[in-house]
Amino acid sequence: MLEQINLYVPYPAEYHDTNHYGPFFSVVIAPFALLPDRMGILFWDVAMSLCLFFAIYYLPIAWKKKYLFYYIILIELYTCVMNSQTNGLIAALIIGSLLCIRKEKDIWAACFIMFGTFIKLYGIVGLSFFFFSKHKGKLIAYLLMWAAIFFVLPMLISSPSFVIQSYQDWFHSLADKNIENITNFSQDISAIGLIRRCFDMIDISALYIIIPGLVLFGLQYLKPERYGELTFQLGILASTLFFIVLFSTGSEKETYIIAMTALAIWYCLQKNPNNKWTIGLLVFTIFWTWLSSSHIFPKSIHTGIFKRYSLKVIPHLIVWLILVYQIITSRGLKELPDNEYIGEK
């Protein structure tokens, strides 16, 4: 960005992949990039972990569940951090946007939504909490304000023309990556990839899978009288976190810190968490997620089966469908008091 060189073409001498983060990310990464590499990477990974740690800390759930929460996400958080990914930050921003809306701090909710959007687009799903806001007009205004700020901010270290061109390059790179993900078995570890690869329908449009998913997601909002309930809001939070992993062709193993965060919220909401089926599904999902990414199996199984057919997504898809059913029918979820514990012992 400083040298005004294309951000989205390959630079094999520097790294093996290509950049797919928004131009705004240059401002976010700048304080870490200015440090020596080893120190910058260390502080970056610590920062990403702490963002998610504090987001979970302030979730309105009881302490005994919160301790379990950290154990559930531990392995996937390690995977994410070891690859210096931003997915922990994205999950934290989505959680933070709901928490701010609940506290009627819409200006910061809008900030978190746009912050995540201008980094990786995933943050836009924070709009799923729009109906929970008591100040919808202000929230829209704040969204526009922060969008303008984050759009312009990279221009402080570069030129306006280069930044505008970079946004165009970014969207072209995402479109190209979406096509590449179809045949890249390390990507599209989602419901889309599962259906395409297991049923040998590689060329099928992702919309045939995304649209039914959106319909199911939308059905959760059919009871507006529940919008103010804490259980409903946390249920939508978990469903949203699941959705962006299940229905994105860019889902990879590091993205599953988002899905595991959703899994932990789902378990904390269960009316009967000690039910053998609930515990069984929780344990199965944790171990299946870990096994499908580990190298405990021979390469022929790890790559030729788990990765080739996007099998990692299976238990998360099952849990999401159960959660959607529970939200729509108001069954199986614990009714949490609105003043449920928030962040203090």
Using CA atoms, how far apart are residues 168 and 122, in angstroms rounded to an integer? Answer: 18
Asked whether the beta carbons of 83 and 249 are under 8 A apart, the reply is no
Token output for 157: 């270290």
pTM: 0.93
Using CA atoms, how far apart are residues 335 and 129, in angstroms rounded to an integer? Answer: 19
DSSP state of 338: T
DSSP state of 272: S
Distances (CA, A) of 265 to 1, 182, 197, 234: 38, 30, 29, 7
Q: Which distant-in-sequence residues (6+ apart) come within 8 Å of 200 by Cβ?
A: none
pLDDT at 339: 58
Using CA atoms, how far apart are residues 105 and 134, in angstroms rounded to an integer? Answer: 10
Q: Is 297 helix (H, G, I), strand (E, B) or coil?
A: coil
Using CA atoms, how far apart are residues 246 and 316, in angstroms rounded to an integer? Answer: 8
Output the CA angle 68-50-79, nearest 5 degrees: 70
Distances (CA, A) of 204 to 81, 199, 279, 305: 33, 10, 36, 21
The separation between CA 215 and the C-alpha centre of its own chain, rounded to angstroms, equals 20
For the stretch 122-152, what's the b/e string if a residue is b when 16 or more beta carbons lie within 10 angstroms of its beta carbon?
bbbbbebbeebbeeeeebeebbeebeeebbe
Q: What is the pLDDT along the chain (345 residues), one digit of tens a residue?
A: 999 999 999 998 888 888 999 999 999 999 999 999 999 999 999 999 999 999 999 999 888 888 888 899 988 988 888 888 899 999 999 999 999 999 999 999 999 999 999 999 899 999 999 999 999 999 999 999 999 999 999 999 999 999 999 999 999 999 888 888 877 777 888 999 999 999 988 888 899 999 999 999 999 999 999 999 999 999 999 999 999 999 998 888 889 999 999 999 999 999 999 899 999 999 999 999 988 877 777 777 878 888 888 899 999 999 999 999 999 999 989 888 775 544 443
Question: Residue 300, Cβ neighbours under 10 Å: how many?
Answer: 8
Give residue 335's region: left, alpha or beta (phi > 0; psi -120 to 50).
Answer: beta
Q: Please report which residue ranges of 181-313 form alpha helices under DSSP H.
A: 191-198, 207-219, 230-246, 256-269, 276-293, 299-301
Give residue 170's region: left, alpha or beta (phi > 0; psi -120 to 50).
Answer: alpha
